[in-house]
Amino acid sequence: MSIQESNYTSKKTGKTKTRYFANVWYAEEKRAITGPMRDSRSEAKKDEARIILEIEAGRAPAPKVKKSEKVDEVYKLWHVSTKPPVYANSTWEVYAQFYGDYIKEIFGDETIDSIKSMHIQRYVNVMKEKYSPEVVNKCISILTNIFGFAVEPLKCITTNPVKGIKRCKVPRKKKITWNDDMVTYFLDLPDVRASHYYPMFVISALLGARPGEVCGLRENGLSSKPTYMIDFEKGYDNWAVDTDLKNDGSHRTPPIPKYLYDIIHRRLIWKRKNHMVDHSWGDNDYLFVSQNGNPIKPHQYGEAFKRLLRAHNRQMEEYKEERGKLPDGASLLPEITLYGLRTSFATNNMRRCPNAALISSVMGNSPKTLMQFYAQAETDMQMDLISGYAAGKLEAREKGARNVL
């Protein structure tokens, strides 16, 4: 931090004038922030104090960018400005990954003011031929943010060239779910029960929890007083970062049955015993850790689920091919992702007890989100609704006919 001097000699008068400006080093972004030229040192000192306060409050002035600045430089400034907690860490990391994979090579070395809407549209047209609508739309979102940042606050261009570019229509995919019998069947498979991830599978299936929430459970989140409960307070993402949960409603402490408490508690005892033997092993407060004592990332957890499901179905298909039928009591399971257990929880409970507010309070989302994204309008649920409505109409019509007679 310092007050710098700048001497200016007038060509007309030949007189030299000294002016002053604040110069504050912003270590986090590895750049200096300068104030305006002042006629007195005291005015520059005030600018210095103001800049320091803005940095401490997280409102550091954006660096000045020339119109000829490359897109890659603007991206870097934008990405730094949106780091957590502005964006969730997973969103922030995915944006960096997508920029590096799909955008940098095309636009990175171009100057920010040379990119026009027609360039963006051509890029989108080519992307649509190679990638899914979800990938293309993500790239459009990133470009919108980068060029929007160049407009404001950088002010190095006046209009956003991505504005007006149409996003791809994403076809609606029917979500595959398991009914209660399928969930029970999977959890009772010997290989699943023997899996290191078994307690986590049970939580996902019986509470409809998100994978990152299960991975982020803490040791002190399990309690038995005044009743058996588990506390969803933090998440854990694929970049080994603790995260806040998706929204305020995601913070919840639902009651759990005693047998689930016992399953989880046995895993907690296992962790503590291993830690006592080797204090460097499992030296963290996560409820679930891998065999080497490290926290479990959601993609590891999801891959474990996928491996077990596919291995079971492969065994059943081979058995059927050899003997012409499946073993008694055995079945093939529909292929779902680990997140499909959450969707299945919502669908099965809406069929059993159609109370959206109650179910969403366990799942950690709003009733609106539950109905829009999770609870599937299954055929049997629709049939119950239509049959009940039709029966009521028929009864009313017959009653009216009897009254006429």
Q: Does position 289 have pLDDT exceeding 80, yes or no?
A: yes
Q: Does position 121 have pLDDT exceeding 80, yes or no?
A: yes
For residues 360 and 367, is the Cβ–Cβ distance under 8 A? yes
Q: Which residues contact 82 (CB under 8 A, 6 or more apart)?
A: 92, 95, 145
Please tell me whether residues 44 and 94 are part of one structural domain: no
User: Phi and psi dihedrals of 18, rounded to 5?
Assistant: -100, 130
- What pLDDT does 9 receive? 67
Please tell me whether residues 336 and 274 are part of one structural domain: yes
Q: What is the CATH number of the domain that holds 89?
A: 1.10.150.130
Please tell me whether residues 267 and 405 are part of one structural domain: no
Q: Which helix (H) or strand (E) holds 9?
A: strand 2-9
In a domain, 171, yes or no: no
Please tell me whether residues 352 and 405 are part of one structural domain: no
Q: Does position 15 have pLDDT exceeding 60, yes or no?
A: yes
Residue position matching structure tokens 């730094």 = 80
Strand, helix or coil at 289?
A: strand
Please tell me the distance from the alpha carbon of residue 130 to that of residue 18, in angstroms, as a whole number.
Answer: 60
Q: Check residue 173 and report its DSSP letter.
A: -
Residue among 191, 193, 194, 218 at smallest CA distance from 205? 193
| Lowest-confidence region among 188-192, 331-335, 390-394 | 390-394
- What pLDDT does 4 receive? 79
In a domain, 175, yes or no: no
Contacts 24+ apart (CB under 8 A), 271-280: 271/219
| Lowest-confidence region among 70-74, 246-250, 263-267, 303-307 | 246-250
- What pLDDT does 351 receive? 84
- On average, the pLDDT of the chain sits at 88
Please tell me whether residues 232 and 115 are part of one structural domain: no
In tens, the pLDDT along 60-70 reads 776 665 567 89
Q: Does position 398 have pLDDT exceeding 70, yes or no?
A: no
In a domain, 132, yes or no: yes
**Residue range 165-191: average pLDDT?**
92
Q: Does position 371 have pLDDT exceeding 80, yes or no?
A: no
Q: Which of 53-67, 141-155, 194-208, 383-397 is modeled with the greatest confidence? A: 194-208
Please tell me the distance from the alpha carbon of residue 87 to that of residue 110, in angstroms, as a whole number.
Answer: 26
- What pLDDT does 276 receive? 95
Joined tokens for residue 31: 């750049």
Please tell me whether residues 123 and 100 are part of one structural domain: yes
Please tell me whether residues 222 and 356 are part of one structural domain: yes
Q: Does position 368 have pLDDT exceeding 90, yes or no?
A: no
Please tell me whether residues 277 and 355 are part of one structural domain: yes
What is the residue range of 242's domain?
180-374
- Total domains present in the chain: 4
For residues 213 and 250, is the Cβ–Cβ distance under 8 A? yes
- What pLDDT does 380 receive? 58
Q: What is the CATH number of the domain that holds 235?
A: 1.10.443.10
In a domain, 65, yes or no: no
Q: Which residues contact 79 (CB under 8 A, 6 or more apart)?
A: 92, 95, 96, 99
In a domain, 164, yes or no: no
In a domain, 167, yes or no: no
Residue among 149, 173, 170 at smallest CA distance from 161? 149
Q: Which of 32-36, 173-177, 318-322 is modeled with the greatest confidence? A: 318-322
In a domain, 162, yes or no: no
- What pLDDT does 374 receive? 67
**Residue range 48-62: average pLDDT?**
83
Please tell me whether residues 193 and 274 are part of one structural domain: yes
**Residue range 36-52: average pLDDT?**
87
* Beta bridge mates, 242: 236
Contacts 24+ apart (CB under 8 A), 141-146: 142/95, 142/98, 142/99, 142/103, 143/103, 143/107, 145/78, 145/82, 145/95, 146/71, 146/74, 146/75, 146/78
Please tell me whether residues 50 and 184 are part of one structural domain: no
Q: Does position 150 have pLDDT exceeding 70, yes or no?
A: yes
Taking the chain, what is the end-to-end CA distance rounded to the nearest angstrom? 98
Please tell me the distance from the alpha carbon of residue 286 to that of residue 365, in angstroms, as a whole number.
Answer: 23
In tens, the pLDDT along 183-206 reads 999 999 999 999 999 999 999 999
Please tell me whether residues 185 and 325 are part of one structural domain: yes
Please tell me whether residues 367 and 341 are part of one structural domain: yes
In a domain, 137, yes or no: yes
